[in-house]
Amino acid sequence: MDVNQAIDIIKSVLPEKRFLHTLGVVKAAKQLANKYGGDINKVELSAIFHDYAKYRPVEEMRQIIIEQQLPKQLLNFHTELWHAPVGAYLVEREIGITDVEILNGIRYHTTGRPNMTLVEKIIYLADYIEPNRQFPGVDEVRQLAEKNINQAVLQATKNTIQFLLEKNSLVYPDTIDTYNNLINKS
Ligand SMILES: [Fe+2]
Ligand SMILES: [Fe+2]
């Protein structure tokens, strides 16, 4: 799929602010792909479509999770997590992208998972550090991303888990597994 065509599609389904966030993710993801040797075209398409399902009604997402046999345990966690796996499904069905690496970049951009591929790490990290993001700890992750992608993914995951613990929120198992997996590797 042509990148400009993809940008036009995503612009039509996202509000302005989320579209600008998406452009930031595309920029950050391309920089990471250049640095770490990822496939630029796959990374770019995955970044463009990563939030494709973000504004789908919760009930539509719930139905897709059930009917398409996406992980059932998603239903017991915050609906904020649903747009990633549902997005991967809808981007395949509605946009016609079938490349598994592109789709998995979308699928795991919120929770992470153990043994992420390079494309998955890039999208996960780009979503966290893109230039419009401003929150405590983001600069530390940006600096780590310049040096070591695994350390950056680990730090972003630690920050996310800490943030969730402080809110007394649930932590999705894939996120804990991402943390354990990277601790084991470091
Ligand atoms: Fe997202
Ligand atoms: Fe995002």
- What spacing in Å lies between the alpha carbon of 22 and ligand 2's midpoint? 6
Look-up of token digits 């016609």: 96
- What spacing in Å lies between the alpha carbon of 166 and ligand 2's midpoint? 22
- What spacing in Å lies between the alpha carbon of 24 and ligand 2's midpoint? 9
Six-digit token pair at 59?
Answer: 């009930």
- What spacing in Å lies between the alpha carbon of 160 and ligand 1's midpoint? 14
The ligand that comes nearest to the alpha carbon of residue 47 is: 2
Residues with Cβ within 8 Å of 7's Cβ and at least 6 positions away in sequence, in order, are 48
Residue 186 has a pLDDT of 77
Residue 19 has a pLDDT of 98
- What spacing in Å lies between the alpha carbon of 123 and ligand 1's midpoint? 10
Query: Which residue numbers in the chain have pLDDT < 70?
Result: none
Residues with Cβ within 8 Å of 77's Cβ and at least 6 positions away in sequence, in order, are 170, 172
Cα atoms found within 13 Å of the Cα of residue 145, Cβ hemisphere only: 27
The ligand that comes nearest to the alpha carbon of residue 22 is: 2
- What spacing in Å lies between the alpha carbon of 51 and ligand 1's midpoint? 5
Residue 137 has a pLDDT of 95
| E strand residue ranges, 92-182 | none
DSSP classification of residue 79: G
Residue 98 has a pLDDT of 98
Residue 41 has a pLDDT of 97
Residue 185 has a pLDDT of 86
The ligand that comes nearest to the alpha carbon of residue 111 is: 1
Rounded Cα distance, 52 and 91, in Å:
7
